[in-house]
Amino acid sequence: MSKVKVRIINQSNNPLPEYATEQAAGMDIRAFLEAPIVLNPLERFLVPTGLFIELPKGYEAQIRPRSGLAIKQGLTCLNSPGTIDADYRGEVKIILINLSQEPQTIHPGDRIAQMVVHDVERVKWKPVKSISVTKRHDGGFGHTGKS
Ligand X SMILES: O=c1ccn([C@H]2C[C@H](O)[C@@H](COP(=O)(O)OP(=O)(O)OP(=O)(O)O)O2)c(=O)[nH]1
The residue within the footprint of ligand X, chosen from 30, 39, 93, 114 (CB under 6 A), is 93
Is residue 10 a known part of a binding site?
Answer: no
Cβ atoms 105, 38 nearer than 8 A:
yes
Q: What is the C-alpha to C-alpha distance for residues 110 and 64, in angstroms, rounded to an integer?
A: 15
CB count within 10 Å of CB 144 equals 8
The smaller minimum CB distance to ligand X, of residues 95 and 100, is found at 95
- Taking CB under 6 A as the binding criterion, the range among 25-33, 34-42, 75-83, 123-131 that sits at the site for ligand X is 75-83
The closest of 64, 79, 67, 78 to 118, measured between CA atoms, is 64
The residue within the footprint of ligand X, chosen from 33, 47, 92, 115 (CB under 6 A), is 92
Q: Is 59 in the site for ligand X (CB under 6 A)?
A: no
Q: What is the C-alpha to C-alpha distance for residues 15 and 29, in angstroms, rounded to an integer?
A: 9
* Region 7-46 residues binding ligand X, contact defined as CB under 6 A: none
The residue within the footprint of ligand X, chosen from 11, 67, 83, 105 (CB under 6 A), is 83
Over its C-alpha atoms, the chain yields an Rg (Å, rounded) of 19
Contact positions vs ligand X (CB under 6 A): 63, 79, 82-85, 88, 92-95
